[in-house]
Chains A and B, each alone.
Chain A
Amino acid sequence: MSEAGYINYFEILGVGEDANPGEVRNTFRKKMKALRDSVTDSISEDRRAQFILDMAKLNAAAFILRDQAKRAAYAEERKALIELEKRWIDQAAKSSDPESTDALRREFDGRARGFLSKYVEETMLEAGQDKDVAESSGWNIFYARYALKLLRHYRHLLYHDILERLPFHVVTQPSIDWAERRRSVSAILETAGR
């Protein structure tokens, strides 16, 4: 099953799940230096946004993974959410009890939103306020202001990635024929506004 959408800080930092705090710090510093070296003064708007997002992700990864308690809580929540998604998908496939399936969907939806709010927006902003993290990354109040909208956007994109693979519930499962879609687009362009 795909785990896309459930932000993986081990993968972002490139360390194993058993990495010790020292290893996390060293990797964080190396990665942050490489990231900062990759940008020049004349940076485009798109590149700047990506740079700040990458910086925020590395900050949060170091902030969570260097602390055993935070790391354990994060890993546990993530694992539980992935399992809940699997349970819901399995139950929806059986569709024996629509009401309990819908209750499971609601529970999953609430927890997925909560997880992304906590580990994308809140943690990334909180990490920037940590003295050690901020010293290594150079994160400051201006980055934080800029990142507010950026992180919300990123959170929605992750949520969207999760949503895309879930069973349909607001509409019935569509059957899409892309050859027919191409013809429809062509017909729309032919007749629109005429």
Chain B
Amino acid sequence: MARADKQAAPKIVNPEDVARSLAKCVADGDIVNLRLLFAPFSPARADSSEVYTDEKYAYLLPAASESGAAFEQALRAVREAATWAHVQRELAAMRPAQLPAELVLLLGDNAAREGKWTSAAQAYELLRIRRKMQEEFFAQGLAALGARDLPRAVLAFRTGVGLGFDYSAFPEPLPQVPQYQTRALMMHGSYPQRPEDCVALLEPELHAQVALDYLLGDSEAAGRLREVDFATRLAFLRELVLQSDPEWEVFAAQFAEACRLTHALGNRLQQVGAHQPETLAEEIEEQQAADPWAITQALLGRSIEGGAWWQYLKELAYEHPAAALFISRQLVGEQEILMPRLRAGSPVAAALGLQGGDAPSAAPKAP
């Protein structure tokens, strides 16, 4: 009976709900929900069985008291006569809707401002201005770098790179994402046979460029920075690390501790080589003190049960992307661990505050 009633009663959509939910998407820079509102099953459509009052759609509506500047601007844009007429026409039509470009553009800008770059990239791509917007961000980034406004320069480059599109994504192109966990693994994919195979031991200019390539995730964008002097590039790198990893100082402390443990391990292994334990207690103490995994655990700041070096690397790269630039794989006996690595007097490490500890520039001898 209730079902029959429901079918008989015509659905009435409150236009205020439609306007406010659209304005919320635009203000939040949320392209997914904007598309949802125009989809055939949208609660904004009179011919759909979905309703705004359903609890599952509560998130689409802003709080009654919502009054932020971005929301007010978005609401004005939605209520603009031509846009509102278009919205109503598209919601009534029985075909894929055509989104109003004015709202998509405003949404893209809000998404870029909020750091929702994948959403901004999709909005700009729909409008066919994504590549030009990237160029504009890079141009303003270089201008800011010339004016020594590092926070602005880094933000411009991060946004420009964030608007990247992966044309080879399967099955359709998708916004580019950094994927540090994967790229850090690729960086350390081969075991370093010589010091120059260790990224941290590279000549400083090359190390800085590798760092920019890896952190920006776009070699073309990083290449644009080659035209500025090394000192400015280092300052840019430092700002980039700090902006993308607010917990970098935590890692710096963990790195210093890992360096201390590495030296202790080195010393311990030398002593073990020179000294024969006389008691069982001495032998146990020596073995425990020489646990190489303590170094890797110190780098990450915690242990992973049964974790291999690459599991530590993935988590480390996720939490502190730049950490992958100052470590290397190291065989200690039959175990392979991650170790801190620094090139002596490296200006790159100094710029990132990693001079505190005495990290090894050469591997300790395996027991």
Contact = CB atoms under 8 A, between A and B. Distances in A.
Interface of A: 46, 98-99, 102, 149-150, 152-153, 156-157, 160, 163-164, 168-176, 178, 181-182, 184-186, 188-189, 191-193
A182 B139 CA distance: 10
B86 interface: yes
Interface string B218-232: 010000000000000
B167 A157 contact: yes
Contact of B167 (A153, A169, A171, A193): A153
Contacts of A188: 109, 112-113, 159
A176 B105 CA distance: 9
Contacts of B137: 185, 189
Contacts of B102: 174
Interface in B23-77: none
B98 A191 contact: no
Interface of B: 86, 95-96, 98-102, 104-105, 109, 112-115, 126-129, 132-133, 136-137, 140, 144, 152, 155-156, 159, 167-168, 170, 173, 219
Contacts of B170: 152
Contact of A173 (B101, B136, B173): B101
Contacts of A168: 98, 101, 128
Contacts of A153: 167-168
Given A185-B140, A188-B109, A189-B156, A174 B101 contact: yes
Contacts of A193: 115, 155
A70 to B, nearest CB: 27
B136 A171 contact: no
Nearest to A150: B168
Q: Secondary structure of the B side of the interface?
A: helix
A150 B167 CA distance: 10
A193 B158 CA distance: 12
B22 to A, nearest CB: 14
B173 A189 contact: no
B336 to A, nearest CB: 27
A153 B95 CA distance: 31
Contacts of B152: 189
Contact of B99 (A170, A176, A182): A170
A189 B219 contact: no
A156 B167 contact: yes
A193 to B, nearest CB: 7
Nearest to B123: A171
A171 B155 contact: no
B74 to A, nearest CB: 15
A175 B128 CA distance: 11
What are the 8 A-B residue pairs with the smallest beta carbon separation, nearest first? A153-B168, A174-B101, A156-B167, A171-B99, A172-B101, A152-B168, A171-B101, A192-B113
A86 B341 CA distance: 61
Given A185-B137, A188-B113, A192-B155, A160 B167 contact: yes
A191 B159 CA distance: 13
A151 B332 CA distance: 42
Contacts of B113: 188, 191-192
A184 to B, nearest CB: 6
B115 A184 contact: no
A189 B127 contact: no
Contacts of B219: 46
A189 B155 contact: yes
A171 B127 contact: yes
A176 B133 CA distance: 11
Nearest to A44: B219
Contacts of A149: 168
A172 B140 contact: no
A99 B95 CA distance: 9
Nearest to A182: B136
A152 B104 CA distance: 28
A119 to B, nearest CB: 17
A129 B99 CA distance: 46
